[in-house]
Protein backbone atom coordinates (compact mmCIF):
# COMPACT_ATOMS: atom_id res chain seq x y z
CA UNK A 1 0.00 0.00 0.00
CA UNK A 2 1.44 3.38 -1.05
CA UNK A 3 1.91 6.10 1.57
CA UNK A 4 -0.77 8.39 0.13
CA UNK A 5 -3.35 5.86 -1.09
CA UNK A 6 -6.81 7.39 -0.88
CA UNK A 7 -5.52 10.91 -0.26
CA UNK A 8 -6.64 13.83 -2.40
CA UNK A 9 -4.13 16.60 -3.14
CA UNK A 10 -4.17 20.04 -4.73
CA UNK A 11 -0.90 21.55 -6.00
CA UNK A 12 -0.73 25.16 -7.17
CA UNK A 13 1.55 25.79 -10.13
CA UNK A 14 2.03 22.17 -11.21
CA UNK A 15 2.72 22.27 -14.93
CA UNK A 16 6.51 22.60 -14.90
CA UNK A 17 9.68 22.57 -12.82
CA UNK A 18 9.37 21.83 -9.12
CA UNK A 19 5.56 21.88 -9.26
CA UNK A 20 5.47 19.18 -11.93
CA UNK A 21 7.86 17.02 -9.91
CA UNK A 22 5.63 17.43 -6.84
CA UNK A 23 2.51 16.40 -8.76
CA UNK A 24 4.24 13.33 -10.14
CA UNK A 25 5.72 12.29 -6.80
CA UNK A 26 2.45 12.65 -4.87
CA UNK A 27 0.64 10.65 -7.56
CA UNK A 28 3.37 7.99 -7.45
CA UNK A 29 2.78 7.74 -3.70
CA UNK A 30 -0.89 6.99 -4.35
CA UNK A 31 -2.59 10.40 -4.10
CA UNK A 32 -5.08 11.58 -6.68
CA UNK A 33 -3.82 15.04 -7.60
CA UNK A 34 -5.39 18.17 -9.01
CA UNK A 35 -3.05 20.97 -10.02
CA UNK A 36 -3.48 24.38 -11.54
CA UNK A 37 -1.73 26.18 -14.35
CA UNK A 38 -2.11 29.69 -15.72
CA UNK A 39 -1.23 29.60 -19.43
CA UNK A 40 0.78 26.51 -20.36
CA UNK A 41 -2.05 24.14 -21.28
CA UNK A 42 0.18 21.87 -23.38
CA UNK A 43 2.62 21.49 -20.48
CA UNK A 44 -0.27 20.73 -18.13
CA UNK A 45 -1.53 18.01 -20.48
CA UNK A 46 1.95 16.52 -20.55
CA UNK A 47 1.93 16.26 -16.75
CA UNK A 48 -1.46 14.52 -16.76
CA UNK A 49 -0.23 12.10 -19.44
CA UNK A 50 3.01 11.37 -17.55
CA UNK A 51 1.13 10.66 -14.33
CA UNK A 52 -1.33 8.41 -16.17
CA UNK A 53 1.50 6.51 -17.87
CA UNK A 54 2.97 5.91 -14.40
CA UNK A 55 -0.32 4.46 -13.17
CA UNK A 56 -1.53 7.54 -11.28
CA UNK A 57 -4.36 10.03 -11.56
CA UNK A 58 -3.99 13.78 -12.09
CA UNK A 59 -6.27 16.60 -13.21
CA UNK A 60 -5.20 19.96 -14.66
CA UNK A 61 -7.30 23.05 -13.88
CA UNK A 62 -6.64 26.45 -15.42
CA UNK A 63 -6.79 29.22 -12.82
CA UNK A 64 -5.47 32.71 -12.15
CA UNK A 65 -4.57 32.62 -8.47
CA UNK A 66 -4.22 36.40 -8.28
CA UNK A 67 -7.97 36.62 -8.90
CA UNK A 68 -9.42 35.50 -5.56
CA UNK A 69 -12.73 34.49 -7.13
CA UNK A 70 -10.85 32.29 -9.61
CA UNK A 71 -8.78 30.84 -6.79
CA UNK A 72 -11.97 29.86 -4.97
CA UNK A 73 -13.30 28.33 -8.19
CA UNK A 74 -10.10 26.26 -8.36
CA UNK A 75 -10.79 24.85 -4.90
CA UNK A 76 -14.44 24.22 -5.80
CA UNK A 77 -13.46 22.29 -8.94
CA UNK A 78 -10.67 20.37 -7.25
CA UNK A 79 -12.90 19.37 -4.35
CA UNK A 80 -15.61 18.22 -6.75
CA UNK A 81 -13.21 16.31 -9.00
CA UNK A 82 -11.43 14.59 -6.16
CA UNK A 83 -14.34 14.10 -3.79
CA UNK A 84 -12.65 16.04 -0.99
CA UNK A 85 -9.25 17.48 -0.11
CA UNK A 86 -6.56 16.18 2.23
CA UNK A 87 -3.40 17.92 1.00
CA UNK A 88 -2.56 21.41 -0.25
CA UNK A 89 0.85 22.27 -1.68
CA UNK A 90 1.24 26.03 -2.17
CA UNK A 91 3.92 26.04 -4.87
CA UNK A 92 2.89 28.75 -7.35
CA UNK A 93 5.12 31.81 -7.19
CA UNK A 94 7.04 34.28 -9.30
CA UNK A 95 10.60 35.44 -8.81
CA UNK A 96 11.96 38.70 -10.18
CA UNK A 97 15.45 40.13 -9.74
CA UNK A 98 14.61 43.64 -8.59
CA UNK A 99 16.92 46.19 -6.99
CA UNK A 100 15.64 48.73 -4.48
CA UNK A 101 16.27 51.56 -6.91
CA UNK A 102 14.66 50.01 -9.98
CA UNK A 103 11.58 48.29 -8.56
CA UNK A 104 8.36 49.82 -9.84
CA UNK A 105 5.07 49.80 -7.94
CA UNK A 106 3.62 47.52 -10.62
CA UNK A 107 6.46 44.99 -10.24
CA UNK A 108 6.19 45.06 -6.46
CA UNK A 109 2.42 44.58 -6.52
CA UNK A 110 2.56 41.76 -9.09
CA UNK A 111 5.07 39.77 -7.08
CA UNK A 112 3.26 40.26 -3.79
CA UNK A 113 -0.11 39.45 -5.36
CA UNK A 114 0.90 35.91 -6.27
CA UNK A 115 3.53 35.06 -3.68
CA UNK A 116 1.74 36.49 -0.63
CA UNK A 117 -1.89 37.35 -1.29
CA UNK A 118 -2.72 34.23 -3.32
CA UNK A 119 -0.88 32.00 -0.86
CA UNK A 120 -2.81 33.50 2.04
CA UNK A 121 -6.21 32.99 0.42
CA UNK A 122 -5.27 29.47 -0.68
CA UNK A 123 -4.46 28.76 2.95
CA UNK A 124 -7.79 30.24 3.95
CA UNK A 125 -9.59 27.87 1.59
CA UNK A 126 -7.54 24.93 2.84
CA UNK A 127 -8.36 25.70 6.47
CA UNK A 128 -12.04 25.65 5.54
CA UNK A 129 -11.98 22.58 3.31
CA UNK A 130 -9.24 20.12 4.27
CA UNK A 131 -10.40 17.04 6.09
CA UNK A 132 -9.07 16.38 9.59
CA UNK A 133 -5.60 14.87 9.53
CA UNK A 134 -4.70 16.79 6.38
CA UNK A 135 -1.40 18.28 5.28
CA UNK A 136 -0.42 21.74 4.05
CA UNK A 137 3.02 22.35 2.57
CA UNK A 138 4.10 25.85 1.57
CA UNK A 139 7.08 26.36 -0.73
CA UNK A 140 9.38 29.20 0.31
CA UNK A 141 13.03 29.85 -0.55
CA UNK A 142 16.45 30.13 1.04
CA UNK A 143 16.36 33.72 -0.24
CA UNK A 144 14.82 34.57 3.14
CA UNK A 145 18.16 33.89 4.84
CA UNK A 146 20.61 34.68 2.02
CA UNK A 147 20.54 38.45 1.65
CA UNK A 148 20.97 39.21 -2.06
CA UNK A 149 20.80 42.79 -3.39
CA UNK A 150 18.27 41.99 -6.14
CA UNK A 151 15.93 39.79 -4.10
CA UNK A 152 14.51 42.15 -1.48
CA UNK A 153 10.89 41.94 -2.64
CA UNK A 154 11.03 38.23 -3.43
CA UNK A 155 12.69 37.39 -0.11
CA UNK A 156 10.14 39.51 1.77
CA UNK A 157 7.28 37.71 0.02
CA UNK A 158 8.65 34.32 0.98
CA UNK A 159 9.28 35.44 4.56
CA UNK A 160 5.56 36.16 4.74
CA UNK A 161 4.84 32.61 3.56
CA UNK A 162 7.05 31.22 6.34
CA UNK A 163 5.17 33.27 8.91
CA UNK A 164 1.84 32.08 7.50
CA UNK A 165 3.07 28.53 8.09
CA UNK A 166 3.87 29.09 11.75
CA UNK A 167 0.53 30.74 12.49
CA UNK A 168 -1.56 28.31 10.45
CA UNK A 169 0.06 25.33 12.18
CA UNK A 170 -1.29 26.64 15.48
CA UNK A 171 -4.68 27.44 13.99
CA UNK A 172 -5.42 23.96 12.62
CA UNK A 173 -3.32 21.70 14.83
CA UNK A 174 -6.34 20.71 16.90
CA UNK A 175 -7.76 18.99 13.82
CA UNK A 176 -4.61 16.95 13.25
CA UNK A 177 -3.66 19.06 10.22
CA UNK A 178 0.05 19.81 9.88
CA UNK A 179 1.43 22.91 8.15
CA UNK A 180 5.06 23.11 7.09
CA UNK A 181 7.38 24.96 4.74
CA UNK A 182 9.98 23.65 2.31
CA UNK A 183 12.67 26.17 1.34
CA UNK A 184 14.64 25.15 -1.76
CA UNK A 185 17.95 26.61 -2.77
CA UNK A 186 18.87 26.94 -6.44
CA UNK A 187 17.07 24.21 -8.41
CA UNK A 188 18.05 23.03 -11.87
CA UNK A 189 14.86 23.78 -13.77
CA UNK A 190 14.53 24.50 -17.48
CA UNK A 191 13.93 28.15 -16.69
CA UNK A 192 17.05 28.40 -14.53
CA UNK A 193 19.25 26.71 -17.11
CA UNK A 194 17.86 28.95 -19.87
CA UNK A 195 18.49 32.21 -18.00
CA UNK A 196 21.62 31.47 -15.96
CA UNK A 197 25.07 31.83 -17.48
CA UNK A 198 27.68 29.10 -16.80
CA UNK A 199 29.39 31.51 -14.40
CA UNK A 200 26.15 32.16 -12.53
CA UNK A 201 25.33 28.45 -12.30
CA UNK A 202 28.81 27.75 -10.95
CA UNK A 203 28.34 30.53 -8.38
CA UNK A 204 25.10 28.92 -7.18
CA UNK A 205 26.69 25.47 -6.94
CA UNK A 206 29.66 26.66 -4.90
CA UNK A 207 27.93 27.20 -1.50
CA UNK A 208 26.33 23.76 -1.44
CA UNK A 209 27.94 21.03 0.61
CA UNK A 210 27.04 18.50 -2.08
CA UNK A 211 28.60 20.44 -4.95
CA UNK A 212 25.61 20.58 -7.27
CA UNK A 213 22.35 22.37 -7.89
CA UNK A 214 19.15 20.85 -6.61
CA UNK A 215 16.86 18.87 -8.88
CA UNK A 216 13.06 19.24 -8.93
CA UNK A 217 12.81 15.69 -7.63
CA UNK A 218 14.93 16.61 -4.60
CA UNK A 219 12.31 19.14 -3.55
CA UNK A 220 9.37 16.90 -4.45
CA UNK A 221 10.74 14.16 -2.20
CA UNK A 222 10.82 16.52 0.79
CA UNK A 223 7.28 17.72 0.04
CA UNK A 224 6.10 14.11 -0.22
CA UNK A 225 7.58 13.34 3.20
CA UNK A 226 5.76 16.28 4.79
CA UNK A 227 2.53 15.31 3.01
CA UNK A 228 2.75 11.73 4.19
CA UNK A 229 2.06 9.78 7.39
CA UNK A 230 5.67 9.73 8.58
CA UNK A 231 5.55 13.51 9.15
CA UNK A 232 2.57 13.35 11.50
CA UNK A 233 4.61 14.88 14.38
CA UNK A 234 6.18 17.64 12.29
CA UNK A 235 4.33 20.96 12.06
CA UNK A 236 5.14 24.65 11.97
CA UNK A 237 8.59 23.85 10.60
CA UNK A 238 10.74 25.07 7.71
CA UNK A 239 12.85 22.38 6.03
CA UNK A 240 15.64 23.94 3.97
CA UNK A 241 16.23 21.64 1.03
CA UNK A 242 19.32 23.37 -0.28
CA UNK A 243 22.12 20.82 -0.27
CA UNK A 244 23.75 22.41 2.75
CA UNK A 245 24.01 25.89 1.21
CA UNK A 246 22.47 27.35 4.40
For residue 108, indicate whether it is catalytic.
no
Which string of DSSP letters, residue by residue, matches 85-148? --EEEE-------B-TTT--HHHHHHHHIIIIIIHHHHHHHHHHHPPTT-EEEEE--GGGTS--
Rounded Cα distance between 183 and 170, Å, is 20
Where do the DSSP E strands lie in the chain? 8-11, 32-37, 57-62, 87-90, 135-139, 178-184, 238-241
**What is the bridge-based pairing of β-strands 178-184 and 238-241?**
parallel
DSSP label of 231: G
Residue among 75, 154, 164, 225 flagged as catalytic: 154
The Cα 244–Cα 185 span in angstroms is 9
CA distance 213 to 241: 11
Beta bridge mates, 182: 139, 239
Q: Are 125 and 136 in contact (CB under 8 A)?
A: no
* Pairing status of strand 135-139 against strand 178-184: parallel
Spatial neighbors of 168 by CB under 8 A, at least 6 apart, are 123, 127, 136, 179
Residues known to be catalytic: 154
Amino acid sequence: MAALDGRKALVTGGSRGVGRAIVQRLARDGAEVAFCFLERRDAAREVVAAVSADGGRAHAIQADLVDTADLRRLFDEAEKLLGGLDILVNNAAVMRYLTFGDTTEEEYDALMALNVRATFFALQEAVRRLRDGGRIVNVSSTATVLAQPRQAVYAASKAAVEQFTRVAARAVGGRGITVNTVSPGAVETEELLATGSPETLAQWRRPTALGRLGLPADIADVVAFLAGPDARWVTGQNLRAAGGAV
